[in-house]
Amino acid sequence: MVDMSATLIHHGHIRLLKNASEFGQVVVGLTTDEEILYKKGYQPELSFRYRKEILEAIKYVDEVVATPWQITDSILDEFNIDFLVHGEDNTNSINKDRLLIFPRTKGVSSSEIRTNALKAISQKNNQKLMLTPGPSVVLYENLRYLKPIFGRGDDEYKFMSESVTNWIKKLSGQDEVVTMQGSASFALELAIHSFISGRVLLISTGFYSERLEKFLTKDCIVEICKYDELPNVKENFDWIMCAYTETSTAFRLDLETIKDKANKCKAKIFLDATASIGLEDNHKVADLMGFSSCKGLFGLTGAAFIAYKADLKPKDINNFYFNLHTHKTKSVTGPYHSIASLFGVIDKHDIFKQRVANSKKAILKKYHNMVRKSNQPLLCTYIEGEVISNDEKVILYSPRSKLTGSVVCHLGEVHTDKVDIVNRIEVSFE
């Protein structure tokens, strides 16, 4: 007897059956659907009826019978079996004199085939080259831990959530991280309403920094200044607000400059860190920030984060959902599956970040005479000219700020070590 589930038949099964056939007639003890569901936790891809039909068509097989997951001596006796043939992973409790063990075929198993099938879903990333700020790709690592999970009473999710939170604390350099469903825009507005009041200096670098003004409450007095005008600011402020990486203009401000000005103005720093978190350094100089799960964290969309220093105390907002306390105490459904997608990324984040850097490097090398020489973010590149696609599968980015040039983002190749961006676009100056 050769016992197997044969949910996904592969060459390892065939080799084992061939070896078994050299000792006599082969009876396959095929695990029932019910046993597979109970032991492995899933319904087999093919039901018992069809798995049996396939095995009966194999020339090394003489008979197929239904058996439970665990094979015992009594089962061997029931079917008049002399030997059980099994791979090295045998866990069946039978007399050793009735057991023939063969080495497992390396590099293949039904579980590995399922993993490869899941990875194949990520091959859809090759169908488009997304030159956008995100979401750009769906990684295997995003899908790996997607499963039934819940925010209360689920120890597996609790471990995932704590791991992601501690990782984000490290990336952001903050003491507190609050997670919620939604976009970065929601996190930014909630953070501003929860903490910011008084005199505010807003550093303008493009659309995303300028929209922060719309999130301010009536108890704020705002003054807007362009980044290059910052040295002219002399007054004191309660807060300085800015976007670390401004995707609409592919501009990265210098946080040390902002920190120096904040010290002189006796102000705290609020960051829109959506396009910088996970990619740029030194977020710790900020006091408060908001961002989302996609872009430089390389997760799925759907999770938003507010991170801040422990000495900040949120306001008491008379609202249930639009209240930081509600999300901090997990009083509403959280972004469970988005958190699971980030959990899969943690160990490979440095690899993904390097792929973004490689894509960036390729563009800077080819168009070195057409790119801004300073304040370059890792996420994207400003090119003085019109980017034209050589491939209908390339999705170009349309920035929200009015520009004479173009912005190219580098998240679209994070799923592969192959840098193909320079071959699939060109720049026109007309």
Q: What is the set of domains in the chain, with CATH numbers? A: 2-108 (3.40.50.620), 122-137+348-428 (3.90.1150), 140-346 (3.40.640.10)
Q: Is the pLDDT of residue 406 over 90?
A: yes
Instruction: Tell me what the pLDDT averaged over the chain comes to.
Output: 94
Indicate the helix (H) or strand (E) that contains 39: helix 33-40
- Return d(Cα 344, Cα 255) in angstroms, integer: 30
Q: Is the pLDDT of residue 428 over 90?
A: no
For the chain, how many helices (H) and strands (E)? 14, 20
Residues 31, 34, 38: CA angle, nearest 5 degrees: 100
Model pLDDT, residue 237: 98
Model pLDDT, residue 88: 83
Q: What b-and-e string marks burial along 66-76, b requiring 16 or more CB atoms within 10 Å of the CB? A: ebebebeeebb
**What phi and psi values does residue 104 have, to the nearest 5 degrees?**
-70, 145
**Average pLDDT of the residues in 21-46:** 92
Collapsed DSSP state (helix, strand, coil) of residue 107: coil
Longest dimension (CA), the chain: 94
Indicate the helix (H) or strand (E) that contains 342: helix 336-343
Residue 113 binned pLDDT confidence (cut-offs 50, 70, 90)? confident
Collapsed DSSP state (helix, strand, coil) of residue 245: strand
Closest CA to 64 of 119, 27, 109, 17: 27
User: What proportion of the chain, given as a percentage, has pLDDT over 70?
Assistant: 99
Residue 194 binned pLDDT confidence (cut-offs 50, 70, 90)? very high
250-290, pLDDT tens digit by residue? 999 999 999 999 999 999 999 999 999 999 999 999 999 99
- Return d(Cα 396, Cα 93) in angstroms, integer: 61
Closest CA to 306 of 322, 319, 79: 322
Q: At what angle do helices 155-172 and 336-343 cross, to 10 degrees?
A: 70
- Return d(Cα 308, Cα 183) in angstroms, integer: 18
Q: How many CA atoms lie within 13 A of 322 on its CB side?
A: 11
Residue 315 binned pLDDT confidence (cut-offs 50, 70, 90)? very high
Contact predicate 256/244, CB 8 Å: no
Contact predicate 149/337, CB 8 Å: yes
Closest CA to 429 of 377, 378, 394, 384: 384
Q: What b-and-e string marks burial along 236-257, b requiring 16 or more CB atoms within 10 Å of the CB? A: ebbbbbbbbbbbbbbbbbebee
Residue 56 binned pLDDT confidence (cut-offs 50, 70, 90)? very high
Amino acid at 300: L
**Average pLDDT of the residues in 221-243:** 96
**Average pLDDT of the residues in 62-66:** 97
Residue 18 binned pLDDT confidence (cut-offs 50, 70, 90)? very high
Model pLDDT, residue 301: 95
CB atoms within 10 A of CB 207: 16
Can you name the residues that pair with 63 across neighbouring β-strands?
A: 27
Q: Is the pLDDT of residue 183 over 60?
A: yes
Contact predicate 362/419, CB 8 Å: yes
What's the chain's Rg over C-alpha atoms?
Answer: 29
368-383, pLDDT tens digit by residue? 999 988 999 999 999 9
Residue 430 binned pLDDT confidence (cut-offs 50, 70, 90)? low
116-144, pLDDT tens digit by residue? 877 777 678 888 888 999 888 899 999 99
Q: What b-and-e string marks burial along 122-161, b requiring 16 or more CB atoms within 10 Å of the CB? A: beebeebbbbbbbbbbebbbbbbbeeebebeeeeebeebb
